[in-house]
Structure 1
Amino acid sequence: MIIAAKKVSQVATHMGIAFSLMYMVTGSVAFGGLAAIIEPIINVALLPLHEGFWHRVRSRSMRNATTLLAAEKVSQTLFHFLVAVAVMYWATGSLVLGGLVAVLEPVLNVIALPYHDRAWARLEERLAANARLAAAA
C-alpha cells in the first residue's frame, strides 16, 4: 500500500511541477492542465513504439550491447524532449516558450523529486519502527 501511495505522490508531484510551470508561462489554468496531462499521455502512448524499435535493433546485434543501450537512452531522452516541446509549442504558440518549458520541467523534477523521496523514506522508516514496536509489545 505504501509503495502505491508513494508512486501516486511521485506522479502528482511531477504533474504539479508541469502544471505550475506552464501556468506561470501562459497564465492559463487550461494550458497548465494540458501540459500536465497531454504530454505524459502522448509519451506513454508512443514509448512502446520506441522501445519496440530498440528491441529489434538490439536483437540484431549484441556485439555493442553497452553502446546500443546508451544510444537507446539518449534517443529516449530526445524523444521525451521533442514530445514536450511539441505539446508546449502547441499550447503556447511559441517555440521559445515551448522549448523553455520542456527544458525547465525536467530540471525542476530533478531538483524536487529527491526531497520528495527523502520525505517518503523518513515516513517508511517511522512506519517500520512503529511496526517493530507493536510486534515487540
Structure 2
Amino acid sequence: MVKTVTFAVMHFTVAFLVTWALTGDILIGSLVAMVEPAINTVAFYFHEKVWRRITTRKHLGADLQALRA
C-alpha cells in the first residue's frame, strides 16, 4: 500500500510540474494534476482486465497443447 501511495504522489507531482512548466499557470497545473491521474487510474483498470484476459487465454492454450501431447 505504501508503494501505491508514493507512486500516486509522484504521479500527481509530475503531472503538476509538467503542466505548470508548459503553461506557467498554477491553477491549470493543479487541475491537470488532479484529473489526469484519475483518468489514468480508470484506464489502467481496464488495461489490466484486458491483459488478464490475454494472459489467461495464453495459459489455456499452453495447457491444451500439453494435454494433446
- SS of the equivalent of 1:132 reads helix
- d(CA) in 1 for partners of 2:23 and 2:52? 38
After TM superposition, list the pairs within 5 Å mapping 1:46-61 onto structure 2: none
1:9-67: per-residue Cα shift (whole Å, max 9, x none)?
xxxxxxxxxxxxxxxxxxxxxxxxxxxxxxxxxxxxxxxxxxxxxxxxxxxxxxxxxxx
TM-score by length of 1: 0.42
| Identity rate, percent | 34
1:87 aligns with one of 18, 31, 55: 18
1:112 aligns with one of 43, 47, 51: 43
Shift of 1:103: 0.9
After TM superposition, list the pairs within 5 Å mapping 1:1-137 onto structure 2: 77-137=8-68
Shift of 1:76: 6.3
TM-score by length of 2: 0.76
- d(CA) in 1 for partners of 2:44 and 2:3? 24
2:12·2:37 contact (CA, 8 Å) conserved in 1? Answer: no
Any gaps of 5 or more consecutive residues in structure 2?
none
Any gaps of 5 or more consecutive residues in structure 1?
1-69
Q: How many residues align?
A: 68
- d(CA) in 2 for partners of 1:114 and 1:106? 12
Shift of 1:83: 3.6
